[in-house]
Each structure stands twice: as C-alpha cells, then as structure tokens.
Structure 1
Amino acid sequence: MGFGWQLPITSLWDLLTLCLFAGHYFSAIHAQEDPGDGNGSGGSVTLADTARLLHFKQSIVTDPSGALSDWSLQRNSNSCSWFGVTCSSNGRVIAVNLTGCTLVAPFSGLADQLTSLDQLQELHLAGNAFYGAVEPEVIASTCSAAPLSILDLSSNNLVGSFPSLSSLKNCKTLTHLNVSRNYFNGPLPLNTAGFLSRLDLSHNNFSGELSPDIFRHCGALSWLDLSHNSLSGSLPMGIGQCGTLQHLNISFNFLSSTIAPEAFSFMSSSNLTSVSAGCSNLSVLDLSKNLLTGPIPTSLTTCRSLRHVNISFNSFIGNIPTTFNQLSNLEVLSISKNNLTGAIPPGFGNSLQQLQVLDLSANDLVGEIPTSLARCSSLQVLNLGDNWLTGEFPQAIVSQMPALQKLLLSFNNFTGPLPLSLANSSSLKILDLNANAFTGSIPGTICSPSLRELLLADNELSGAVPLESCNSLAAIDVSCNFITRAFPTPLPSMPNMREIVMWGNFIEQEIPADICSAASQLWLLVLNVNLINGTIPPTLANCSSLEWLSLSNNHLTGHIPPELGLMERINFLHLNNNSLSGTIPPTLGECRYLVWVDLSSNKLEGTIPMELTKQAGKVIKGTLNKGLRFAFFKYLYGDRCTEYGLGSVLIMRGVRPSRLSRIPNFQMCNRTRFYADIAPYYIPGAPGSSEGGSYTYLDVGHNKLRGKIPKELGTLTYLTVLAASHNNLTGTIPFSLANLIRCSILHLDHNHLEGPIPPGLTMLGIMNQLDFSNNNLSGSIPDSGKLPTFPASSFANNPYLCGTPLPPCDTATSTFEDSHASMESLSFHHKQPSFGVVIAIIVSLVAFAILIAGLMRCSHCLTNTHQHVRELMHDNSMDKLPISTSSSTIHSVWGRRTGKPLSINIVTFRITPLHKLSYTELKEATKDFSAETKIGSGGFGDVYKATLDDNTVVAVKKLSHQIDKNGESKDFNAEMTTLGKIKHPNLICLLGYCKADNERLLIYEYMENGSLDRWLHSNSNQQDDPNGQPAVKMGLSWDSRKRIALGIARGLQFLHRECLPNIIHRDLKTANVLLDDALEARVADFGMARLMSAYDTHHSTEMLAGTPGYVPPEYGLSLQCTKPGDIYSFGVVLLELVTGREPTWSLGASGNGSEKRGYEDQGGEGLVGWVQGKVREGRAKEVLDQRALQGGGISGRAVIISSTSSSTYLTDMGMAMDIERREAEMMRYLSIAFCCVDDNPSRRPSICDVITAIRKIHRGGDLDLL
C-alpha cells in the first residue's frame, strides 16, 4: 500500500476490519481534519497509529495483568478506546499511559513502535518490567518525529548508561523526564538540562561528581531529583545561579567535604558578588544521608522561599545558624543525626510561625530549650531527642503549641517532675520522655484524650501508673523505673491499647484477670523483671491479638494455663524464672505462630509433651519485631547465674544499657554477648506453604521434668536452641536430634540419660555450645564431626563414656569393669545370687576368655603381617611424586620409617612434581618443625616455611588437633580432594597433604610478603622474624589497599558462587589474607573450618565460629554460619584497610558518656563499634588511616624488595592521588564496610554486590583489574 508498515492480520475478521480502517483513513485525509486539543478519545484512530500500537503489543513478552487484552481489532475496532490510549479529536494518538501494568519486554524492541507515533505528546511506561539498555537514537528520533513533552520510564529494569542529555538536543518539546528506580549506572548524563523543567534520575547507580554546569546552565529546570545514587565529591557551586530551581533532592549519596559558604548565593560572573535573589524560588532542599561536613552554610538562608529543608544524617559541625529565623516560609526543618554543638540559639523560632516539623535530634546540643520556640505556633512535630539538653519539662513552651502532635525529648538530661497537665496540647498523640531523669509520680492528668503513646521508660518515676486516666492510649512504656503498682482496680476500658511494657520495676500485684477484655487489641505484654505474684490468668487466652508475652523473672505460682494454647497469634512466650508448677500444657502445640518458648527455672513436672512439635513445618512467619528495639543478653553458661537460664530478651526501646545494673540477673551473671536490634527468629514460610518453620528457641531447663526426651523434637528443624538441662529426664538421647541441622546450642546436662551419644549429632556442624555432662551416658563419643572438639567438661560425670575429649575407650573400659566388679561384690554381701545367675556369669566369663584369646592370636597375625610390610618398604622412599594430569587425581605413596609410624600417605594436587618428598624430608625442610622456621600460628595449627632440596619453598601447616586415623581417613581424604581442586588467583592453593598416623600436614604455596595483618598493624619497632622474614617498616598505600580489598572480594566470590557446593569461609580475617610478591591478596584457610569441623582455638563450647572481632553478632545467638556471616567478616577487614586499626583495638575509657545511644557489645568497644560511634558523632573522617590518606605506604604494582642488613626497602613507583580524591574514595569504602557489618544479616549485601559497588567507585579510574 506504500505506507512503509504492515498491520498484523491474523484472521478474516482482521482483514475486513483493515478494509474499513483503510476507508476511514483515506476519508480522513480528504477531510483534512484538525488535530484537536487531545483531551478526548477522538472519533477513531488512524490506521498507521493502530498498526504501531498492535506492533507494540506483539513486542510484549508477558502481560500478566492482561492490560492489553482489549488491544485487538476483533474486540474493539476503535483503538482510541483501548486501555491507556488517548487520542486527539482527529483520531491521532497523543498519549499512551501503561503505568503499573507489569508488562515484560525488551525495551529496544518495543520503543520503536510507540516512539514512532508522530503525534505522541506523553509516554508513561512506569511500573513495568521493561529491560535492557536505552539507546540514544530511540529517544532522539522520537523527539524529532513527535512533540513529546513527558517521558516516564521509571520503575523498570533498564540498565547501562543513560544517554547524555546533549544527545537529546532536538527534544525541544520535552519538559518532563523520569527514569528513576532503574539500574542505570555510569556518570550522570547532565552536561545540560536546559530544555527540561522536571528531571528525575533517582534510585539508580549513577556515580561520579556533580558538575557546576548543571546549575549554571539549568535553563527552565525547576525539579531535580538525584537521590539514592552513588554520587561523590563535593556539592558544587552555582546552585544559586539556577533561579528557576524549586525542588532539589540529592539525598542518599556520598557527597562529602564542606559546603562552600556561598554555595547558595548567586555569583555574578563579572564581579563575583553575592546577590540574595540567587535561589529565591527554591522551596525544597534535601541533602540528607550524605557525608557532608563543616558548618551549615549561612548562604542557605538566602533561599527565602524554602519550605522543606532536610540536611540530616551528615557530619555538620558547629552551632545552629541563627539566620534560620529568616526563613519565614519554612515548614519542615530536619538537621538531625549530625554533630552540631552548643545551645539552641536564643530567639530561634521567633519568625517561624509556619514551621510544622522541627527535628534537631541526635546531635550534641546542650542547655535548655529556648522560650522562643513557643512562637512556632504551627508546630506539629518537635524532636529534640538524643542530645544533652537540661532543665525541667518545657511546660510553658508546649502549652503554646496547640497543633503539637509529637513531642520527642528522649535521651537527654531533663529533670524534675512531669507536667501536671497537657490540657492545652489537645492534639498531642505521642509523648516520648524516655531515658531522662524525671522524678516523682505520673500525674493522672498527663493523658489528654488525644494521647496515643506515653513513653516514660528509664527515668526515676515511682508510684502507680494512672491507666484509669489514660484510657485512650495505644501504647505505654514505663520500664526501668520504680513503679510499684501498674493496674488499677477495676481495670478501665482501654479499647485502643496495643502495647503494655513495664519491665524492670517493682510492681507487686497480680495480673488482672480482665486485662484482655479491657484491652482487646493488645499484642505486646511485657511485665518481666518485677515482683508480680499470683497465677497466670487463663483469660489471657482472650487476647486474640497477643504476639509477645513476657512474664519472666517474677514470683508467679500455680500452673501454666492450658488455655494459652488458644492464643492464635502468640510468637514469643517467656515464663522463665518463676515458681510455676504442674505440667507443660500440650495445648501449646496448637499455637501456629509460636517460635520462642522459655519455661526454664520453674518447678514444672511431668514429661516434655510430644504435642509441642505439632506445628513443626507449619509455623507461619510472624511479625515479631514491629519496629521495636530489643536485645538478647546471652549469659556465660556454667557461671554462677546458671539458674537464670541461657539469657534474657528485653525491650530496649528508650533504655540505656547502664540501667540494666539495677536488675539482679545482670548483677550476678556474666554476659558473653549483648545482641541488639536482632530478629529472634526467621521462618521462610507463608500461610498454606509446605515450607513452614518451627520453634527456634526452646528452653525447659532447671525444672523437675521426667520421662524420655520425645523423639518428635527432631522434627523442629528450625530449632537453634534446645535446652533441657537440670531435670530428671531418663532414657536415651533420641537419634532424631541429628535432624536439628540449625541447632547451635544443645544442653541436656544434669539428667539421668543413658545409652550412647547418637552418631548423627556429628552432622550438626554449626554447634557451638553442647553439654551432655552429669548423666549416665555410655559408649564412645563419636570421633568425627565437631563433638571431639568440645571440652571434657561437656561430657564429664558420665562414668561409662569414653573417647576424645575424655580418656580413650580402653582405659575407660577398664575403669568400667573395675567399677562393675566392685558393685557386684557389694551386691553379693547384701543378697546371695541364685544358682541360675551364677551359671550365667560363669558361661559369660568363659565366652569372654575365649574371645580375648582369639583377639590376641589375631593381633599376633596382624603384627607379623605388618612387620613383613615394613621389611618390604623399609628402603623405598619416594623419589618423585607422580605428575597429576587432573586435580581430581589422588596419588598415595609410602615413606621411610625413621623412628616414626611408617603409614604416611602423601597426596599432591600440583601440576609440577615435588621431588623426593616424604614426611622425613618435610621434617628436615622445617628443621624438625622448629621455632626457627615457624612463620605463623592459628586456631588450626602452626605454619612453617619449608625449603625443599630443589630450593622450592612451600608453607607447611601442621594441624594441631590429633585425629584418630582409623575414624576419619575417608572424610579427610575427601575434604582434601575437594580443597585441592579449588584454584583461583585470589586463593591460596593447596599443593598437597601428608598423613602420618595422627599427624596431618597441609602443603601450601608460600607467600613471600606474609599476611595482611602484618602490613596493617605492625609498628616501626617490630623486629624481623627469626626465619628471615623482614618486618614491615612501611604501611600500604591506598592504591594497594584498594587492590587488596578487591582481591579478597573476588576470592570470596569464588567460594560463595563458583564452588559447588558453595564454601563458607567462617574465619575470614587479615591474618588469613596473604600477599604475594606483587601485593595481590590471596585468601587462605578457606575450608579449614569445615575440614576441622570448626575447631576453635581453645576447644571451648563458648567460642563462636571465627575470631573475636570478626564474628557477626548472629553467630552467638545460635544461628548457622552463613554467607552473610562471611560478609560481616569481610566488612571488618575492609574497616581495617580504611582505618589501619585492629578489630579488637581498645580505646579504654572514653569518659564522654557515649553510652547514651547505641548498643555496643558489653565489655569493650571493638573497631566496628568505635567507627559507628565516630560516624554517629559526625566525625567519620577521623577514622581514616592518615598514612594511606597522605599518600604514604607502598603500591603493589611496583614493589621492589631487597634485603640489606636488617631493613627492607620498599619503593613506590606509582603516582599518588591527591588527598581529596583519596579521602573521597576511602569514605566510599567506609560506606561499603558499613553495609557489610550491618547487625541484620538480611540487610548485608552479597559479595557480588560488594564487587559491583567497588567497581562503581573506580569506573573509569585507575583500578585496571576491574
């Protein structure tokens, strides 16, 4: 037909319809209709536009919502009425809006169809799944062919670099461009934006620095959103030169340095003088979540139209500028989470009558609240929390704020009584006075009818809680006070109440039986650590929404009501440390959400109900956290606080850790770990799914339970903690417990258990606490897996138990026989045995004697046979190991016997042979493993430098754990075979191994430059190693550190992603990162934790997998070792590279009261906590290693090492970056490290994400290995 396109025809009906459309098309041409205004759907669309729409539909791969189902000539011949299509009055398509249709298609294939609509004005494709790159010519051709004004490609899966805006210079009509929430990367395409009025590039991966030209040549730009990218550098000058700009958002980036004082002023190119009208139209400015430092620029207050200012989460210092008063239009001002000091300026707020939100929290402000704030009559939110403010409650100020809805003053030093009334604050909904020093009682008139949350935890309040006057509350928290009475009689109706938190007081009354009828919406009831007496009311079952019930550490008596099994939503049941009696209700097995059960330290009797496992595999993922700040205090097991159980879970919202000293448990018990903000469980299931969860925590220890351990407990496969110690349990340890693959704490001590230890328990590889002591167990402790690594105390006082770590079984058997004979003798004096018994004993003894004689003869035969083998092999030392043509091939050879066992199995994975290698020669090469050749030691053994006869230098690791050669040979060989196959440039290769009876030697490549920790943490006074290794007298340059970080990440990526099965390192640290002659990183000891079943350095059940300082917090809470755990360790290594400090480096007492916020580990501040504290204080740059920052150290690309006397000369041949650029990069690496050491494992990036982030930092830079 000559139109240059084809209409897809799939049926006769389409052909007829096409004819009708063709007629309409030609009649439209003759009629020469006007375009119209585009507000209606028009009469009918042109044939050309219809064809392009249908071609677009054909390009769609998936249409899950059926959004384009009516795009069909068969169903509707008028395409102007199709979904999302808007036509002008003459039937031309002027707009297509397919927002949120979840369409799936490659962008390159479909863009041509829609962009070829030559009258198209608006194209909305947000909220789909279009993928691929965006070619510049696609958009450029659209702009040249159509009057396109709005293009929205946001919330898709588009990748690559976005076309430079200069390539769109023909888009004269384009005013709105939105490509947010995609995966674009590379530099910002912002060389000019003069033709746009609205540009949104947020939520991508754009990197690089901001050019001043963005603002100097902004044209008509009024809206610019660059948030949630990876932009770096400083905030450019010239913002004040973009007079049209109204909205500027650069939040959630990595902008650093000080903002120039004149950044927001208009600078004339002729005289560079400030003109106050420079940013007169700017109304929204968001620079939050960056790394900006220095004082807040005073030129900001020249932007007189500002309504919304957010510069929170930066590192600003100095005082709050008094010039903020000049911004009379200001509605929102947030400068929280900085390092501002001094007092709130007098007169602050005098001219801010429009201010609705004021957030000055988390700074270091001092003094009292100025009375001038009362002039902020429109204020709805006032947040001054987390400062050092003093004085009494600002009653006079608050009473003049009738619109105030949230008053947040927590974590300050306010004193005095609470206000008698807040009647004038009729709109107040949240009053947060946590963590202050308020005294006296809680006035009954403090609750206004509108008040929903009353948070008074961690003060000095006493008396009763006036719930009768606060019946509109939804949440109340009075924890850690001196409250003596919590519930009035009768209990008032509280229809909105959802949270009652009153732990850590002196409440001495019973739990009201009508609490659930009075508070029917209650989901959180926390009354632990009080003096509450009486019984648990069965009516708690009426709390149908209750998820968290904590009544521990009280004086409760009576039975656990069976009715608790009717609580449909209960997740957390904590009844430990009371005087409860009776049995454990089997009805608890009906709770479909229950995952954390602690019934320890009571007087419970009966058996452990098998019904508790009824929901195994069916437990639905709950919503336990709900934004609360809570912590788990893990006690040191076996200490004087044993009767208090394994630990305590506390709601830490608004409570300073120092206040815990009031609680008897915490005064008596040594805490091994303090975990904060952790989710106590994670169940990967959903209602109706077949992959549900189960309990994760079950502690019934320190009771009077009897009977057998139910074998059904083995079905609780998500269980991480199982404790039933200090009871009267009998029978055997169920073999089914071997199914508890996630279990890391198993305590069954102090019972009457008998029989063997199930061999299957050796498969529980993440176990870090185990106690079977004080039972009647018998037999040999399984010698594989992790069981032999636990201390003897874990198995003590089992008279018939033997094997590592207890005495060998032959000795134990003798002891058993002696004890047995003694008991028989003692029994004989009390009762004469019957004739039948005597006969049976005689027959048994005769049979036993015959058996022993046979074994002795067999042993003699075997001895002769072994002697014959020795004679044959005596002089056959190995001349040469066979060359392996495949890394999977294993070669066994026998070595010469020289006063040591002859059975020596040597295996090599090396392509080139190790000549004349034998155990004897390894001894000679290491000078009998002398201290002179020792180059390192660790939890798995010592490492020696060995120089072979052909001058080949290798590293020999002598495993420190003695292993029974008869019990582990196959497992050891299999592990060695696996490790020998692993080859990667950033991993230390295993060259071979040697077995000599109980000795195990691993042969590795030798790294001349030693370990990374030597380079980072050695000092100038360090002496050379005895074996000649030079001490490091210079540090590493920043260039070298970057390369090392990338090398470690790549090695870890290979273990996590390329190895099948994937390997978790479990002990990544700088001591396990070696450096080759070019200072390239080589990760060592991978697979050792699995090989040695995670032996810890001291064979202690209290040690976590890994090394102190590198261990992620979740490992201590009995969670399994995971890839996110490795990421945490990598983050610590990255912090060492950036700061130059050791992970367990101690600051000593700071004396600055830094405990007022944050939840660091008790008992010392490690590197992670120290850096986090500096960042919170806005002093992040102080943690940077000045040696690397100033350009010191050596660069690995040109390292020259020459030994002269006792010194080593290291020459850096590379060009040093300027300090500013190095500082920016180090801050970016610091940000990556922060993500890696996040307390929540689910928020940590994968190692692939880490590598991507490093690449983004150096894209186009000097890290050429990327």
Structure 2
Amino acid sequence: MDIRIKPLLVLVFIFIHVLLASGQTEDVVYLQALMDNWQNKPPSWVGSDPCDGKWIGIKCTGSRVTSITLASNNLKGEISGDIGQLSELQTLDLSYNTGLTGSLTPDIGSLKKLTTLILVGCGFNGPIPDSLGSLPQLSYLALNFNGFTGPIPPSLGKLTELYWLDLANNKLSGPIPVSDGTAPGLDLLVKAKHFHFGSNKLSGQIPAKLFSSKMTLKHVLFEDNQLTGTIPLTLGLVQTLEVLRLDRNSLSGEVPSNIKNLTSINQLFLSNNKLNGPLPNLTGMTILNYLDMSNNPFKPSQFPSWVSSLQSLTTLMMQDTRLQGEVPLDIFSIPQIETVVLSNNQINGTLDVGATYSNHLQLVDMSNNSISVFAQRSNYPDDLILIGNPACMGMKATAPYCVRSTESNSSYSTPPNNCIPAATCGLYKVSSPNCKCSYPYTGTLTFRAPSFSDLGNSTIYTSLETSMMTSFESNYLPVDSVSLGQPTKNSDDYLEITLDIFPSGDERFNRSGISRIGFVLSNQTYKPPHAFGPYFFIAHNYDYFSDAFKRKRKSVSIGVIIGVSAGGCVLVLLLVIAGIYAYRQKARAERAIVKNSPFASWDPDKGSGGRPQLKGARSFTFEELKACTNNFTAAANIGSGGYGMVYRGSLPNGQLVAIKRAQQGSTQGGLEFKTEIELLSRVHHKNLVSLVGFCFDAGEQMLVYEYIVNGTLKDSLSGRTGIRLDWTRRLKITLGAARGLHYLHELADPPIIHRDVKSTNILLDERLNAKVSDFGLCKPLGEVDQTHVTTQVKGTMGYMDPEYYMTQQLTEKSDVYSFGIVMLELITARNPIEKGKYIVRLVKEAMDTGKELYNLREVLDPILGLSSEALQGLEKFVDVALRCVEETGDRRPKMSEVMKEMENIMELAGINPNAESTNTSESYEVKSKGNSHPYLNDFSYSGGLLPSELEAK
C-alpha cells in the first residue's frame, strides 16, 4: 500500500470511531460500571454502543439493554449496584462463573421488568436479598450451587408469576416461610411448578400452610436438610406432584394416609428420616417408577401386598424398614423392575424370584435378613445378594449370591459415530464422537430423581444424547456432537454424568457460543427424556477461547490508489467538515455521560476513591442546580441548618426538590461524601425521604432530596404549618416513622443507625404520611455480627440516648430511645426540654396508672380533645413510649416490636394500620401560620450536658 494513503486511512478510522462515540446508548454507562468490577470481561465489550450487536452476551430492544447472558465466561469480581439502573433488563444469566463472589446486590430488586434471573454455580454468599421480592414479572429464579446463607426471604412469596424456584445446594437455614396475614410466604406461589431446596440447612417443620389444592407444583425437592416434625397432611392436596424428595431429614411420625392421592407421582423419596408410623399404603400410584423409603423405623409389618400393584415400578428401596415375613413372588415380575433392595430387615422363610422374573431385573439385595431357603432355579438375576442370611450357612456359603456385593457404577461412554478416533489430538484437545480433535465445553449433568436405577443401560443414554443434540440444533447452537460418560450415583442419590460438548466449524468455541449453550442448560430450555427427571448442569471453566480473528490482507489495486490519490483533496475537505461535526457530537455525548453518570466528575486526585455504587440517584452539575434554583436566589432559599443553606428547586421535568448546599469551608472529604450518598441511595422505603441525587462539582457538595410539601412533624405540632393533627393521624404518623426506622435497622443492607431521630427529621407528605429524613449522622453496621459502633457522640439535645452518651457505643437502641422522645412529643406537643424540664420526667411525674388516661390530661396537647373516647389506646401508647426511653438499651424494645405494638394499638382504636392515608383535608387544617422548610436541623449536639444534667442545673 502507498504510504501516502496511510494517514488518510487513519483519519477515516478516527472519524468513524468518533461518530460511533457520539451515538452512545443510554445503558452504556452502567455496563461500563459493571465491567469495572469484573476481571476477564468479554474483550468485545468495547466502544460506546452495547446494542450494536458486537457486545457478546448483550441483547437490546432499540437502545435499551434487555438481556445479559454470560454463562461460563470466567468472570471474576462482584455485581455492583449499577445493575439496578438497567431498567429494561428482562434476562440476567451469569451462571458457571465461579469467580463471581461477594453478596448479591439488593439493587437487582430495581429491575422491575426482569423475568429470568439465573446465577447457577457461582460463588455468591451472604443472605439472599429481600428485594428480590420486588420483581413483579420474575418467573424463573435459579440461585443453586452458591454459598448463600441465612433464611429464605419471605418476600419471595410476592413473586406471583414465579414458575421456577431453585435455591438448592447453598447454606440456607431457618424455617420455610409461609404467609401470616402481614408478611408474605411461599404458599402464595400458586403458579410455581418447582420448589428445589435440597442440600441446605433448613430447619423446623414443613408448614402445613405451604401446600394447598391451589398449588400446581410438579417438583418438591427438600432432601438433605434439617427438617423435623411430621409430613403435613396438606401435601396430599397437591395432586400435580410428579417428584417428591423428603429424604435425609429428621421427619418423624406417620406418613399421611392421603399421600396415595398423589397419583401423578413418578419418583418418591422418603428415606433416611425418623418416620415411625405404619408403612403407607400407596395403592393407586400406578405410574410410580422409583420408591425409596429405606432407613426409617416404621412399625414392624408384613411385606406390603400393594407393592405388586405398582406395575410401573423400576426401583424398590426398602432396606432397614422393619419388614417381616416372606417376599411375594410377583414383585420380581413387575414388567420394568430393575432393582429390589430389602436388606437389613426381618424377612424370613423362602425366597423365590420365580422362573419368569422381569428381564430388566439387575439387582436383588436381601442381605442381612432371616431367609432360610433360596429356591434356586436354572437362572437368577445378575446380582442376587443373600449375605447375612441363614440360607448362606453351611455348604451354600460359597455360592455366588452369598459372597457377591453390589456395584452400581457403570463404565458407559459415548462410542464413536462410525469413524476412527485420532491416535492423538495434541495437548488438551479431545476426539469427539465424530472423530474431530477439538476443545470441548465440559461439565457435569446431575439428575436429582431419575426414574431408573440400571446405570448400565446404554439405550437410555443414547436417547439422552439424541435429545440434547436435537435441542442444540433447534436453538442454532454451534455444536458438532456431545459425549456422555461415567454415570454414577453420588452420596445424595443423584445420577451424575460427565458431559463434553464439541464445537462445529472450528476446534474451539468463542464466547458467544459458550454463553448461548450455557443459557440453554441453565434455564432448562433443554428438556431431557422424562426418565431422567429434574436436572442441573455445572460447567467447568472454559480456557480455550480464541478472541483473535484471522484477518486476510487485501491488496489494493493500482486503480484504487489512483482514485484515492485523485480524490484526496476532496476527501480531506470532507473529513475536516465531518470532523468538526463529530467533535461537536462527541462533546454532546460527553456532556450526556457527565449528566447521567453519578461519578463522571469524581476527582480521584483528592482522595475521593473509586466510583460510588448508587441506586436510583443521579449526578447533577453545579450549572444544572444553579438553573433550577434561579441562581440560588434569596427567593429560593427556604432556610439554613448546620449543614448549610437549603433551597427549593424545580427540575426540568417539573419535579420539586430540596437542595441542601454545604456552606463553604464546611464540606467534608470526598470519601466521606461518597460514602454518605452511597448509603442514602440504597435506602428505599415509603416512610423514608428519597435521595434524588447529588452534586460534587465546581468545589460544591450538595444533596438533592424529594421535596416534602407539609414540612416537619415539629412544625405541625407547634402549629406553624396550620395542620391540625388529631389522635388517629398521630397514631398513623407514629406507625409510619416506626416502619421507616425498622427498615433501616433490620432490612437495609448493611443495617443503618440513624443517630438523629427527632420530630424535625420526620416529614409529612401531601397525605400526611410520615417520612424519616436527614441521614447526615447515620452510621452503618458493616459486619454481620456487629452490635454497636464506637463513635464520637453526636445527636440532638433532648433526644440523645444517655447510654450512648456515657459509653460512646452506638446501637440501634439509641434510635429507639430517641423515638420514644418523639412519641412523648406527639402526645404533649412540647419540646423535649422546655423551661429546664425534661419531657420524660414531666410525663412520669404527672402519671398515675390507676386513673383514666393515666391522669395525663394536664400535660396532653389540648388539640387532642381530652376524653377517653377520643384517645383510645393512649395508655398503651404511653407504655410503649416509656419502654423506649428506659435507661439501658437491653430493656428497650426493638423497632420491629414498637411497630407491632403500634399496629395493635391502632386496631384497638378501630383503625386499620394498613389503610391508605387520605389527602390532607379540612379536618387536619387550621389557618396557615406560614410554612418553614422540612430539611432544617435543630441545635445539633456534639458535646455538653445531658438533659438530666441540664435539669439539675
């Protein structure tokens, strides 16, 4: 190529690149933020448009990302909260990336359009986020084979569209949650077909309420947990059940007699429990294939006659079940019977398998019984075991059936497909069934409840291979062939088979091919033959990606060179014009990124750290906030506090906001400011004020909140807002604020201590709903078992916990104390400290529990109307408030208990605690006396005297 053309082509390349940069899609910022948390991210994730078809694993509708499928891509790192900003996302599959670790971000709960969430075989730990219950369209949830701990979130019961729920092979503990009238539970999942909870640490009884005739479950897999109690009678109502595994728990009592109503059951596992009633009668289960009731101390009984009626049976496992008497001849002639294991019982008499036993019969294990005679005929099953019976005494002790032991594994492997495998394929390559050397995608197929026990049946594996290839081909996957091998039964009684998937058209898979194959297996698109039952796939890392594409050098003809040279001047002119246009478009794109990215203007040179992990909060430039406050004019100024000035603003979309602008010289460090906004952006509750965004630009630090129209609770109690609060309204405000604090203490991740609960930090919206605000002093509890934070004492005079003041150890009970002061403020409309008198002492001195309304009429707010009829529940309200202000935290209730008490008080007063609040009405209003702004602080305390010391003075 003529060297004179090269600079021109470079310009063309730059021009195209800049044009692409100017077309950045809305979600690219958040995908880039995800990438920053990952190692081994797909090399194709470059450029400014993830929807251009080149980003592996990304699918879009228009300019919005709707699917991320990156199974088996060797990703390492954590899922950041930025995932919650991909508001159009419908499918997320990151399965088989064992390097994805850490806790699962609760921000996934913001993906309201998500239908499929699959994280099989990763390395996640910690609790399953409660926020997953906020995904109204979720139909497929698979979190199996991780390290999740803690209980199953009851909120999953709100997923009314859920079809598949797989939480198996984690470390989950606690009971199986069901609804109780106030909280949801799994019994509400009436559309669910699959409950896969095996191999966890779940405990307690299986709740009777979990099952009902409304359920449409096919698979209930609770094996290998710590469940106790009896099998609920309600289980017999779920007549759609096909597979039931309750084995390897500590279940006791009788098997419900109505279990025989489950006539659609194919596989039934009740083994290794403490079931001690009579053997259940399973007559009518005509399609039952696999029955395992072994290792249970049932009441001694004769061999049940109903077994012979189960004409679809392949496997009968009843060892160590206290069986007695003789085994009837006809069970061995059940047409499909493969395995009969009745060892370690008290079976006696004569054993006769008959001359016409099923030709599928492979194993009969009668070891360790009292069989005295074996009626030997000319032939008998391949594996007959009578060790430990009197029939093996004397001369017969050397008979094959008296020395044989069981072996259940098979050496099956897929044979070559009418070809000769290569003698050697080179390092790491494998010869496929089609005798092609390549790098296969490998893993283990595990079947949780196969309907057969003969592992040497090659015909059934051939059907599995055929069905798998049919599925891959119908999904247009780049698969040449599949190979199965080494079928074994593991300690969980699962069937495990190694799987090799070979690429077509090349010797290795690319990332797209692997992701697509992984997705077909992880989301159960592939359906195995019915005999194999429910399965899961765990892939091995694929280390053979080839992301370098061969490029063919193309010669340039002399005519093209002449044409390019002749048009060079014209092209340069066009490039100059296009370059100017592209530069302007790029500048616009960069401004858009700065506008939408919550970290675009972050200054790492000032120690502000990396990107903040935000949920729902956006970054504003100084110029944007300047515009929406009319240059921070005096007219927009609605007050000042310890933080600085507070302004009312209107965003371009019409939303009213309150902007807290730090005064010059008082701004905190970038890291502290970043930590605060990260914390604020993660708390979302209807009784908490929402953070809209922030500004960290041009030397400014500003917080942008939603504007709450009716000001503070303090202002309403004092009459400054002109709102009259009756007793009903005050009860609802108390409950709302309690719910907000309960969320911070027990549901936020991490838990948060507010540290400045007071009436000026409880705001009232247009419906007079309470919203807790001002998190400037809040502290997170970072560790799971952390109970307190040792910190410099800060708070507000009159509301501060004396125990916190003395020990400097901040706990959630410090907030409870402050909330108790607010409760007393609500009934008295007095300041916590007024005329040197502390409100707690004021109430206690006036109080007489033997009299009506505790004799508190003199200290109550006269607006309440001081009759017992108007103040129903007041005495209990005072009791709760005084428990909150006990001197030591261990004597105070939790906010969850306060919340429950308030609900009870409201019900006692005839008020529905869950009723929607009404708009502000005349019944709550008097003539306005002005409206100060809700975001202002009272005197903030950082040292000095406690209220009790102030009174003493």
For normalisation by structure 1, the TM-score amounts to: 0.29
The structure showing larger relative contact order (alpha-carbon pairs under 8 Å, at least 6 residues apart) is: 2
For normalisation by structure 2, the TM-score amounts to: 0.37
